[in-house]
Every structure is written in structure tokens, then in C-alpha cells.
Structure 1
Amino acid sequence: MTNRRWAMTQEIGQFLGYIGAERGFTAKTVEAYRHDLGKFSEFATGELGGAWQSGDVDQHTIRAYMQFLADKGNAAVSRGRKLATLKSFFKYLLSEDKIKSDPVAQVRMPKIQQKEPSYLTEQEYKRLLKVVKNNATKYFKLRDTAIITMLLGTGLRLNELVQMNIGDVNFEDNTIKVTRKGNQERILPTSEEVLIVIQRYLRTREGVLLHEPLFLSKRNKRIDTASVWHLVKKYLKQAQIEKEKLSPHTLRHTFATTLLKQGENLLTIKQLLSHKNLRTTERYLHINGEDLKAAVDKIDLQ
């Protein structure tokens, strides 16, 4: 490896250390940044030669990379994420005086068509809960009921749920402590119904301690995201719910949509979901055909 390439590798390492230690990014996010920068490095080597360094990259290199990704079939969302990684990386290098100008500053993010989030109707999520109670094995019934109820009743992300410990649930204040994106801790209110199903599940555990994981796998270890993903998909299928891209995140969308239908304002929902931007929350302003018909039927012309 040449000295110039070694310097580039060092810069990437320093950047990853910065976002992990100072920005508080999770290990999973840091690894995603590492992967994206590695793929860009491979492309830049082909474009600029084996001895390239960060100062050799200009906006033409970045645009060529975006076109390369598009030609490979990468969706706009995927290209946008990779470009966001590069924007963060070169902005960091500029702040550290490693480069004289930011080659990504003038490159626009790909236009992404916003799709309405997939969510469950009240009839569907009640059917889902009934299926869990009726179909789950005796050993997992209370645990799985608590998981599904918590996802529906709190709007937690999948990784937020599996990271929770027993001590993160405050049964006196009706709150839960959640570690959100960027390792930010939030105290969120939760309903009595959610707390009741958690208590029922915890009664099946022996000698529970506050530092122990809230949800355990069949091997009595912290349940992982893949296991929760699998069980949610399984019960959705058993409930005969068929929608595009069903996943645990569908239950988060359901939580937000249910609140909106009940008349909660967007700012409240934004806070509960910990969205940084209100535009992200505005995705839940979808109105289905039945809502439109009900709205028109309310018009009294007599």
C-alpha cells in the first residue's frame, strides 16, 4: 500500500472513530458507514488510480459514482444513503483541514418518491393480537404478546425494543426509557395496557434483575432483532394480513397512524417517534378511500 493510500485509510479510520465516539453513532451505523466508504474507495481507485487520496476527489468523481450506482440498479434511497455518508465524510475532512474544498457540497441528493407507510387498520391489529394469543406456544405466548403489544402501543423501532432492560420500564410512572438513534436516551410515556402485558410476562421469569434484558430468547439470552423480525412476520402471515413490505416497522407505522386517526397532532406524534424533522412525521397524513368517503358523507347540503 502506498503512503497516499495509507493516509486515506487512516482518514477513514479517524472519521469512523469520530462518529462513534463523539457523535455517539451505534456500532451498527458505524459499520454501515465503513461499508459505504469502502465501496466508494474501490470505485475511486478505478477512476483515479491506485495512489489517489482524498484531495484528488472532486464533484465530477462523486457524480460519476452516483451514476455508477444508478447503472448498477441501486434504488434512489440506497444512492441517497451512500451520498449522505460521503457528505458526512468530506465535511469532516474539511473541518479537519485535510482537504481544501468539499467535493460533495454541490451534489444534490437523489429525488426519492415518498411512499405512504404501510400500516394496519384497527380490525387488522386486533386480529394480529388475537392470533398471537391463540397460536403462540404456551412457553412463548406471554412473551410474544408483550412484544407485539409493545410495538403497537409504543411505536418503538426493532433495535430499540431488543436493547431494553427490565430496569428501563417504570411501572410506577408508566414510562419506559429508550435508547434511540445516536445513543440518545428518551423517557417515553406508555399505556397501562402495555405495562400489564409486560408484567404478566415478567412473572414467568425467575429472579428477575433490573439489569437483565427485557425480552429473552428460548436460550435465555437477549432476544435479537432477527428473532423478533421472524416472529412478527410469522404472526402477520397467520393473521392473513397481506400488505406491501410487512415488517416490525409496520407496527410502528400503525402506532403513528392510530394516534393521528384519534385526533393527536403531528407535533405530539413527532415527539413520541423521536423524529428530527416534521416532514418525516407528515408521511402519516395518508388518507385512505374510506376516510375520504366518510369526510364527504359528513357534508350536509339540506
Structure 2
Amino acid sequence: MESLLVICQSDVAAERDRWLKQLEKERRLAGNTSEAYERDLRQFLVFLTAHLGGAPGLSDLADLKPLDLRAFLAERRRGGAGARTLGRGMAGIRSFLRHLEKAGLANAAGITTMRTPKQPKSLPRPLTASDALRVVDPDLQMSEEPWIAARNVAVLTLLYACGLRISEALSLSRQDVPVGTQALRVTGKGGKTRVVPLLAVAGEAIQEYLKLCPFRPAASEPMFRGARGGVLQAAIIQKDMRVLRSALDLPETATPHALRHSFATHLLAGGGDLRTIQELLGHASLSTTQVYTGIDSKRLLDIYDRAHPRA
């Protein structure tokens, strides 16, 4: 990796350090996001060093034109970067230039309002209803530890039966799921709460797990536990799901999050109202939920192509 002072002058390096501290303390971005932003900026500075014929200083960044940014995007595209990668990679550059603008060191309005390459639309890939049911079948789990198998069934059932995000399921405590309850109050993205019906099969899976689990966290602590008693991490469920899908001969798209997609798609296929599904999923915008209408339309077209005599 290039030394910072090889690809920029000391005044840029100093502002870069201030920007990263601001991201960490004031905006409270996740560590991975801050690292990605720093990587975006470093790639841009490497380009500018070659583009300008020397390491850029603040004066060079203040004089940047949209044409310079287009040249950067063109070089990344020649290197094999796709539209999604280019769009995501602009985030760190824009953030740093806005930081300079707020500090009175650059006028970034023209650059930060530039349109990024159009993102390809991709549909979520749900499981079929029969495959989703196999994933949550207690008799098909791969763990030799009965309590871990029961834990996985409970978590995966919450994703499919209730449409939870994996982070939402893993944050549930025993007091969030009292015996006999028919609804969950879930805290989702942005601290927003929503009420989701708890199907009997999901409640029974949770109670079976709690009965077998050798650990007894406090009622207010996350109830799902790892093999050594710590709070269960999403990576463990994702790993166990990879083992399960291999054993069941499911596609690589069969991930824990795909069960949430399956929840929405199967509700819609069964006549569910789009607004209701939006509320159940905790989507802030209806447009986010509308992607599932594309999945259902595709399924109908596939059936038409296979079955209609004139297709």
C-alpha cells in the first residue's frame, strides 16, 4: 500500500486525518464503513498523483472539475470496476470533499452533485416455499448438538415466519418473547419499532430452544447464544446456513437474508397487501418493498412460458 505522503501532500494528509476522526466520533460510522471510505479516497489520490503529474495538495483539490472525476471513473471502469462498485466507491470521495468544503478549503458543489453510473436493478432471490420449509425443519438440521440445532431452527424460523432481519432476531431477549405471545415488538433500522405477528410455529421453536439451551442469560439480554455462551453472532448463523444449504443441495443464494425475502415474496404471492408487507418488513419507503412485485411478476411469466401453448 502506498505511503500517504507519496500520493498526497502533507496538508491533504492532515485534513484526511481530521475527516476520519470526524467520521468515527461525530457521525459514528461503523468501522468497516470508515475503512471503505478511506480506501475510496486513497484510490482517488493515487489516480490524481498520476493525473496531475504529482502528489495533490489542497489547492489541487480546490480546483478539481467534474472532468477530473469523470477521468477517474473511466480509469476504474477500464480496470474492470462495474457500475455498482463505482457508485459505492464515490461515497468516500464525496464525503471527504464535503469535509473540505465545510472547512472552507474547497468548492465541491459541482463534483458532489455529479451523477454516478446508473446502478443495475437486481431482484432479491427468495427460496421456494418447499425449500424454505426444509431449511427450518428440525429433522434436517446439521448440528450434532441438539440445543444448537434448536437454536438455528428458532432463528431461521423468525426470519422466514416473521420477516425479521438477522440482526433483529439476534437482538431479541426472553422478555421480548413471553410464553404465549402472539406478537413481537421489533426494533429495526434507525431505532424504529414495529409490531410483527408471531406465528405459533415460531413461538414453539423459541420455547424448544430455551428448554434445551444450557445457558441462562438475564431476561433483558439477547437470548440466542453461541456455543460458549456468548451473544450469538450473525456470522455463525451464516456459516451454519452454508453447511445446511450444501447438505440440502440448495443454491448459493439460499442465505439467512433470503428467508426474509421469501417471507415477503410468499406473502405477496398469496395475495398480501403491499402496504402491509412494507409495515411488516419495517421498510421506510414503499418503493423498497415494491421490488417484490418484480419477483412475483417474473414467477408468473416463467409459469406462462412453461405452460401456455402459444408461449
Partner of 2:80: 73
Kindly indicate whether the alpha-carbon contact (under 8 Å) linking 1:155 and 1:251 is maintained by their aligned counterparts in 2.
yes
Kindly indicate whether the alpha-carbon contact (under 8 Å) linking 1:16 and 1:34 is maintained by their aligned counterparts in 2.
no
Partner of 2:47: 43
Partner of 2:37: 33
- Measured in 2, the distance between the counterparts of 1:293 and 1:158 equals 30
List per-residue Cα deviations over 1:1-53 (Å, max 9, x = no partner): 54412333234224413xx634x543433333333333333333333432423
Return the match for 2:128 from 121, 126, 149. 121
CA deviation after TM superposition for structure 1 residue 294, in Å: 7.3
Kindly indicate whether the alpha-carbon contact (under 8 Å) linking 1:155 and 1:273 is maintained by their aligned counterparts in 2.
yes
Return the match for 2:222 from 208, 213, 216. 213
Q: 1:93 to 1:148 in 2, by over 3 A?
A: same
Partner of 1:21: 26
Return the match for 2:237 from 228, 242, 246. 228
The letter of the residue matching 1:227 is I
Q: 1:260 to 1:86 in 2, by over 3 A?
A: farther
What SS does the corresponding residue of 2:118 show, helix, strand or coil? coil
1:141 counterpart = 2:145: no
Kindly indicate whether the alpha-carbon contact (under 8 Å) linking 1:33 and 1:85 is maintained by their aligned counterparts in 2.
yes
Aligned residues: 289
- Measured in 2, the distance between the counterparts of 1:179 and 1:287 equals 25
CA deviation after TM superposition for structure 1 residue 217, in Å: 1.6
The letter of the residue matching 1:145 is V
CA deviation after TM superposition for structure 1 residue 191, in Å: 1.3
1:184 counterpart = 2:188: no
- Measured in 2, the distance between the counterparts of 1:7 and 1:293 equals 57
- Measured in 2, the distance between the counterparts of 1:271 and 1:92 equals 36
5+ residue gaps, structure 1, are: 297-302
CA deviation after TM superposition for structure 1 residue 284, in Å: 0.9
- Measured in 2, the distance between the counterparts of 1:82 and 1:247 equals 25
Kindly indicate whether the alpha-carbon contact (under 8 Å) linking 1:229 and 1:247 is maintained by their aligned counterparts in 2.
yes
* Percentage identity across paired residues of the two chains: 25
TM score, norm. by length of structure 1: 0.81
CA deviation after TM superposition for structure 1 residue 160, in Å: 4.0
Kindly indicate whether the alpha-carbon contact (under 8 Å) linking 1:132 and 1:235 is maintained by their aligned counterparts in 2.
no
What SS does the corresponding residue of 1:140 show, helix, strand or coil? helix
The letter of the residue matching 2:51 is E
The letter of the residue matching 1:116 is L
Q: 1:265 to 1:55 in 2, by over 3 A?
A: farther
CA deviation after TM superposition for structure 1 residue 96, in Å: 4.6
Aligned-residue CA RMSD (Å): 3.0
5+ residue gaps, structure 2, are: 306-311
List per-residue Cα deviations over 1:267-286 (Å, max 9, x = no partner): 33233333344333222112
Q: 1:16 to 1:289 in 2, by over 3 A?
A: closer
Kindly indicate whether the alpha-carbon contact (under 8 Å) linking 2:186 and 2:196 is maintained by their aligned counterparts in 1.
no
Tell which deviates more after alignment, 118-127 or 221-230: 221-230
What SS does the corresponding residue of 1:117 show, helix, strand or coil? coil
- Measured in 2, the distance between the counterparts of 1:292 and 1:276 equals 29
What SS does the corresponding residue of 1:112 show, helix, strand or coil? coil
Task: State the structure with more CA Rg.
Answer: 2
- Measured in 2, the distance between the counterparts of 1:217 and 1:270 equals 31
